[in-house]
Amino acid sequence: MNKMQLMGRIMNMRSYQVALLLLAALAVFGFYYLGSGKENFSSTTKRIKESRASQSPSLDMDLSSSSSSELKLSEGKSKNMESRGTQDYHLLMMFTKVHINPVLRDKFQVALSSLVRYGKFESNEVLSLHFVSDEPSKEMGKSVMRDLLQGASFKYKVIFHDVSALTEKLFPIVEAMQKHFSAGTGTYYSDSIFFLSVALHRIMPKDISRIIQLDLDLKFKTNIRELFEEFDNFLQDSVIGIAHEMQPVYRHTLWQYRRENHNTKVGDPPPEGMPGFNSGVMLLNLEAMRQSKLYNQLLEPNTVRQLAEKYHFKGHLGDQDFFSMIGMEHPELFYVLDCGWNRQLCMWWKDHGYADVFDEYYKCEEHIKILHGNCNTPIPDD
């Protein structure tokens, strides 16, 4: 064999080896990223997580972001749990800009740690924690939530949802509301997320029939499971459970309507008056909201405009303003939670012209189950 033949054979062997290496690399890539038919890297991870979950009192967190406006639940786990008769309880919180706001982060830690401290569920029940978040806040929240949820005695899932995707979906639905219930003038695309609860029944998947939406600035004093039981007290036409506003906010906002209608109860304190609602704690019966012809008619732009004109309504509190306005027109749509489920601590209006009537709104003689540090009011330590 001459040198030229030897060199050619060596080159052919090297080409063959390179080809084998390329095939091996493609096989690994296909296994991990493209799937192998029966079980790929993702499904293997899911199987391991499910196996671990069945041996642990708490479920592993599903930290995958859902960019879909349908707010998909984690796959695999929910199907397996349903086959065992497991019941999901759904809780939703806004979790945006937390990564740049230490105050919000501190509030969230108080809320979640107190929820874990008092939370108790049956062995076949799972608390699904939904967080509407931007990407940086989600990344920061992963480690925080792992730490806070370690001591949970109940099973849970954590699902993050992309705020941009939800905003895009909400904007066409609530655009007409923004001119009446937003802080600025005109309509703002980014503001639509503050109306999430108003149209949540059109965004969540149909198999989720009930959900509780909460503010971050809360502190639990009792088992959150008891709040879900309030759904059972809804009346026939009730679609939303919500507590009264505990300041004379709407007495002030609706001053013109009150001046033109001297005998109205609108803006008056409870128990006989209609003080409006506070959206810090809301029970949303999504199925009832979907089925209610009246409620969905109230979402129509013309209806919103007509009611806003009737009450001379110009607010800045988003969904809370909308619910307060339609509650004055159609109180039958709302189941009123007692003040103990949303014991608001803000006293801003007492020092701004309403000291003489403030206590009529602010008093709460019920057992306190959730403290609400609205308008940045400090929540007392235990």
Cα dist. 195→60, 227, 299, 322, 372 in Å?
A: 30, 22, 11, 9, 20
Q: Domain for residue 169, yes or no?
A: yes
Specify the CATH number for the domain of residue 292. Answer: 3.90.550.10
* Residue 267 token pair: 């803006």
Phi, psi of 216 (to 5 degrees): -80, -25
Residue showing tokens 């929540």: 379
pLDDT at 90: 98
Question: Does residue 145 surpass a pLDDT of 90?
Answer: yes
pLDDT at 149: 96
Give Cα 201 to chain centroid, integer Å. 12
Q: Is 137 helix (H, G, I), strand (E, B) or coil?
A: helix
pLDDT at 84: 56
Q: How many residues does the chain have?
A: 382
pLDDT band at 30 (very low <50, low <70, confident <90, very high): very low
pLDDT at 270: 97
pLDDT at 382: 80
Amino acid at 143: S
Q: Domain for residue 146, yes or no?
A: yes
Q: Note the pTM of the prediction, 2 decimals.
A: 0.80
Question: Does residue 78 surpass a pLDDT of 80?
Answer: no
pLDDT band at 26 (very low <50, low <70, confident <90, very high): very low
| Sheet strands (E) in 111-209 | 125-133, 155-162
Q: Domain for residue 256, yes or no?
A: yes
Instruction: Report d(CA 61, CA 74) in Å as an integer.
Output: 9
Phi, psi of 85 (to 5 degrees): 80, 25
Q: Domain for residue 271, yes or no?
A: yes
pLDDT at 80: 39
Q: Domain for residue 23, yes or no?
A: no
pLDDT at 301: 97
pLDDT at 256: 98
More confident residue, 43 or 267: 267
pLDDT tens digits for 296-340?
999 999 999 999 999 999 999 999 999 999 999 999 999 999 999
Cross-strand pairs, 129: 91, 158
Q: Domain for residue 322, yes or no?
A: yes
- Counted domains in the chain: 1
Q: Is 18 helix (H, G, I), strand (E, B) or coil?
A: helix
Residue 60 is classified by DSSP as P
Instruction: Say what percent of the chain tops pLDDT 90.
Output: 74
Q: Is 162 helix (H, G, I), strand (E, B) or coil?
A: strand
Amino acid at 316: H
Question: Does residue 29 surpass a pLDDT of 50?
Answer: no
pLDDT tens digits for 226-277?
999 999 999 999 999 999 999 999 999 999 999 999 999 999 999 999 999 9
Q: Is 230 helix (H, G, I), strand (E, B) or coil?
A: helix
Question: Does residue 44 surpass a pLDDT of 90?
Answer: no
pLDDT tens digits for 175-224?
999 999 998 766 777 789 999 999 999 999 999 999 999 999 999 999 99
pLDDT band at 49 (very low <50, low <70, confident <90, very high): very low
The residue segments making up the domain with residue 318 are 61-376
Cα dist. 4→8, 13, 15, 18, 109 in Å?
A: 6, 14, 17, 21, 74
